[in-house]
Amino acid sequence: MFESLLSDHQTAHLLRTNLEDVREPRFRTLRTALSWAAPAAAMIAGAWAAGALLAGATHPVAPYVLVVGGLAAGVAAFGGMNLFERLVGPSGAAIGVGVALQLALPPLLDAGMLPGWVVPLGWLATAVPAGVVVRRAHNRQPPVIRTARPVVLTRAELDALVGPATRGIGSASVAVSGRFRLRGWPRTALQAVELGGNPPPEIDAVVSLQSSSGRGTGFLIRDDGTTADLVTNEHLFRKSRTARAGIAGTVRRAIPLPRPNPVRFAELLADAVPGLSREERSALAEETDLRVVRIDSRGLAVAPLPISTAADGDEAVLSVGYPLGGIPRLVWPANPMPVPVIGIGRLARRAGQAELWSPWRIQPGNSGGPLLVRERGALRVAAVTYLQHASRRSRGDAPHISASVLRAYLAALDEHG
């Protein structure tokens, strides 16, 4: 329905592609190595100390040996948890404990306190699940688009978007790399490496959805304390009448509401997308890939996301979603929510249309996810994902459903009852 919003000249201005202003942060490799060195050293030293103390203890074991050995084992376990959480997220905590315990076994083996086959068996039992978890986590990263135009953001834009916690940016501008890493506790996300600190609390309102038609993303827009409405894509419900929504550590049944009256929706689109003819508005009303679903919200303590009211603009955005279903939590069954992915890019909004530019690829499962901009002090929904990038030689641009179209859809739905 929509063609590219921007000419080549406008695209160059939008993406701020003057890469001469972008300087790599100094000593990036050294900083990265140091951030990994501390937990690794704590794990190794603590495990060695605990094993050596217990192996050299006399019988009966003195109380102080138990206390000091326990403290050393705790340091080793804490270091292992931190080290492996940086690799694979929350599930890595249990793997880190397993690795720390394995490191404490050699002194006990040398003292004859354990049979020799315990160590290789323990390493195997730890290495296999560790490899599986690491592989699954990193396979969920959105792939980089090699043919994408460079997207450059300023430090001020990033600070305005997520606060002044951005780290690793040594200049006034930064080129978005398209790379991701797991960050945050207890709120965890696979987020763009250019983002620092913990993920913003607003991502709690972005939910994973699974139906018989596939997996996708949705976001909370209103909640009256009894029921709540989520926005997602229509194509998730073409072959199903219900879905499972994962939100705030719970899984709830989601039921799609009827679509709004297409005639009334087309009328409201006259203001939302003023550049379209009557026939184009009617076609857009029939084809818009939006659907509102309803869940039981009793006991749910999540604030809905407000919707942007700005019409035009070029701004830095957060794209939140669950590509390929998100990263599964394999260790903590008490929290069935997968880990979301937070990317950054630049959004162009023109006359009711929206286009995202990013060097990372939108994947299946991102459908229905919001693009968030900072507006009047809050993160607001500026657009909704519904299409993937072109499969070949993409420049990194992908059309999205704009907030103005979303507002018209919701208004027509409310009138329809």
Tens digit of pLDDT for each residue in 194-243? 887 788 889 999 999 988 888 999 999 999 999 999 999 999 888 788 89
User: What per-residue confidence (pLDDT) applies to 2?
Assistant: 41
Q: Helix crossing, 92-103 with 118-139: angle to 10°?
A: 150
User: What per-residue confidence (pLDDT) applies to 20?
Assistant: 44
pLDDT at residue 147 is higher than 90:
no
User: What per-residue confidence (pLDDT) applies to 10?
Assistant: 45
What is the Cα–Cα distance from 193 to 183, expressed in whole angstroms? Answer: 9
Report the pLDDT averaged over residues 37-43: 87
pLDDT at residue 25 is higher than 60:
no
Which long-range contacts link 324-329 to residues 24+ away (Cβ below 8 Å)? 324/140, 324/215, 324/363, 324/364, 324/365, 325/208, 325/210, 325/215, 325/365, 326/140, 326/208, 326/365, 327/89, 327/136, 327/137, 327/140, 327/182, 327/190, 328/136, 329/89, 329/90, 329/91
Listed range (16-20, 118-122, 130-134, 386-390) with the worst mean pLDDT = 16-20
User: What per-residue confidence (pLDDT) applies to 171?
Assistant: 59
| CATH numbers and ranges of domains, the chain | 8-17+149-416 (2.40.10.120), 28-139 (no CATH)
User: What is the DSSP secondary-structure string of 276-288?
Assistant: S-HHHHHHHHHH-
Residue with tokens 């972008």: 22
Predicted model pTM = 0.73
Of the pLDDT bands very low, low, confident and very high (cuts 50, 70, 90), residue 29 is: low
User: What per-residue confidence (pLDDT) applies to 22?
Assistant: 42
User: What per-residue confidence (pLDDT) applies to 142?
Assistant: 85
User: What per-residue confidence (pLDDT) applies to 1?
Assistant: 42
What is the Cα–Cα distance from 168 to 290, expressed in whole angstroms? Answer: 37
User: What per-residue confidence (pLDDT) applies to 125?
Assistant: 75
User: What per-residue confidence (pLDDT) applies to 87?
Assistant: 66
Both tokens of 8, joined, read 């080549």
Report the pLDDT averaged over residues 346-365: 88
